[in-house]
Structure 1
């Protein structure tokens, strides 16, 4: 079982003076997963990632990468070469060209020619910066700089990628480009742990998520299971006629949990506890009762709603 886990931690704890940043975490991430780490500022996400990257020594606890024990000393240099870590504040060397910057890191990782140049061409193509190979880094946009940072992180072909707030401050197009690259890396078999405040991005990318609060891992589950367990089904309805007739019908339906008129709109949102078949029956019954529907839209509560709900439960 341990071999199919890309990451396993046992009682992982990090204390700074009197502050416990990461508190007794038992984390399991399967090989090939994209695992999203979410939580408010100060929850311990960055400290956890730094320990997984061997950039921070745990106070207590153990970390296993693909079944092998990870330690900060020089006992397992091969294991550390299999890690790629992108912190949220890694500096770029603005006066270098894109190619020279990547070549510098290729040399640091002891990639030899002709493999090094071949690898540089591969990562530049992956992050869509081939046409910028001779550009000075200071002339790049923020999104390009972030893609270059990712290229630097994967130049040595790691099997585990650790990304701390990689889309922070990027515009929607740059975020979309970054998401597409992550999907390609996952398809290539890489395991990826990514922390982000942009929960819509994580919902699109991740197979599992972990939610951190005050140093604790309060939830860790496959995304599908989290939706099944914690996400209520919503239906949005609009009608040409009066809302009162629609609401009268909904009030009497046993599977309508609660409803509300969306403020400022002639639109009703309700929470529905039935199956897809029962959803279809509700729609049919409303139409048969003469209500002129212009919208009937079924959706699940999103990851942000689940996160806020869980945070509220922890607070209370």
Structure 2
């Protein structure tokens, strides 16, 4: 095991009666990464995160955080204090103010004055709740409450942050605010593992991605590598002429894998297995065949499409 791994697991397994929630999982996350964990409900994501947070005892296997073995007993309390864990259903104390809530947790982590007050100001500024510091939690919006939960999770400056569905139920503006905070935490040197069903957020945030299916880690790689290996090129082609003629020409090209007619415009979207020079050749061939093109736009499949395609392959 290399020293620069923030999270390392070996043969990590969790069995519940006859159900194996996490199956012989080897995970490596480098220091300073934002690692996105993807998978359908029941894939084992929450169980994995709970084991990494020392909230769940593994049935088998080992966990190392920054090179030190993580155990649920009292052998490494200092290591546990360097973890930040935000479950997907963390309760708030609605009758407290924002300041009192964070001060309560700062005291639980034994933060002493004058550092405690300094840290409270830093975190409240980071989560953009300076003007709400004296507000009662029950009066906050859902997005504000979620940012407050994150603040509670980072008040003690953890080295590893574990976030389980932190943007669930948030509107686009609240998700954007949450993303900006995560980016700031990464820039400060924190290693972050985040699970989410909002794959557009993960694609914007993450340096690496792991995909879980039925307790197995079926993919784990940098986002760049995932795109390079698994993403199809997609091309949207519009014509001023007959759509059937365009379809006929496209079917003559062996690199065109799938066709989808876009009903709102006189356009076709194709999955294309070729490289950039191949798509340029496709464009030349269509023009040479006399197809009156009005649009030829190349894009790359997004993370959600990759995940769905991978799921179909696993099922088949």
TM-score under structure 1 normalisation?
0.95
* Structure 1 residue 264, shift from structure 2 partner: 5.0
Q: Give, in whole Å, the separation in 1 of the partners of 2:251 and 2:314.
A: 32
Partner of residue 33, structure 2: 33
Partner of residue 236, structure 2: 236
Contact 1:2 1:66 in 2 (8 A): no
Structure 1: runs of 5+ lacking an equivalent: none
Q: Tell me, what secondary structure is at the counterpart of 2:84?
A: strand
Partner of residue 267, structure 2: 267
Partner of residue 206, structure 1: 206
Correspondences of 1:78-227 after superposition (within 5 Å): 78-227=78-227
Correspondences of 1:44-59 after superposition (within 5 Å): 44-59=44-59
Query: Which 10-residue stretch deviates more, 286-295 or 146-155?
Result: 286-295
* Structure 1 residue 293, shift from structure 2 partner: 2.6
Q: Give, in whole Å, the separation in 1 of the partners of 2:183 and 2:138.
A: 28
Q: Give, in whole Å, the separation in 1 of the partners of 2:77 and 2:186.
A: 24
Segments ≥4 residues shifted beyond 6 Å? none
Q: Give, in whole Å, the separation in 1 of the partners of 2:117 and 2:139.
A: 23
TM-score under structure 2 normalisation?
0.95
Q: Tell me, what secondary structure is at the counterpart of 1:26?
A: strand
* Structure 1 residue 130, shift from structure 2 partner: 0.8
* Structure 1 residue 290, shift from structure 2 partner: 4.5
Query: Which 10-residue stretch deviates more, 255-264 or 29-38?
Result: 255-264
Cα 1:98/1:43, change in 2 over 3 Å: same
Cα 1:19/1:8, change in 2 over 3 Å: same
Q: Give, in whole Å, the separation in 2 of the partners of 1:15 and 1:248.
A: 53
* Structure 1 vs Structure 2 CA RMSD: 1.6
Q: How many pairs were matched up?
A: 316
Q: Give, in whole Å, the separation in 2 of the partners of 1:146 and 1:245.
A: 53
Q: Tell me, what secondary structure is at the counterpart of 1:3?
A: coil
Q: Give, in whole Å, the separation in 2 of the partners of 1:155 and 1:251.
A: 58
* Structure 1 residue 247, shift from structure 2 partner: 2.8
Query: Which 10-residue stretch deviates more, 144-153 or 265-274?
Result: 265-274
Q: Give, in whole Å, the separation in 1 of the partners of 2:260 and 2:130.
A: 52
Asked if 1:14 is matched to 2:14, the reply is yes
Deviations 1:131-171 (A, max 9, x none): 11000000000000000000110011111000000001111
* Structure 1 residue 294, shift from structure 2 partner: 2.6
Partner of residue 303, structure 1: 303
* Structure 1 residue 254, shift from structure 2 partner: 4.2
Deviations 1:89-120 (A, max 9, x none): 11111000000100111111111111111111
Cα 1:174/1:53, change in 2 over 3 Å: same
Q: Tell me, what secondary structure is at the counterpart of 1:270?
A: strand
Q: Tell me, what secondary structure is at the counterpart of 1:57?
A: coil
Q: Give, in whole Å, the separation in 2 of the partners of 1:198 and 1:74.
A: 36
Q: Give, in whole Å, the separation in 2 of the partners of 1:217 and 1:282.
A: 37
Q: Give, in whole Å, the separation in 2 of the partners of 1:305 and 1:143.
A: 27
Structure 2: runs of 5+ lacking an equivalent: none
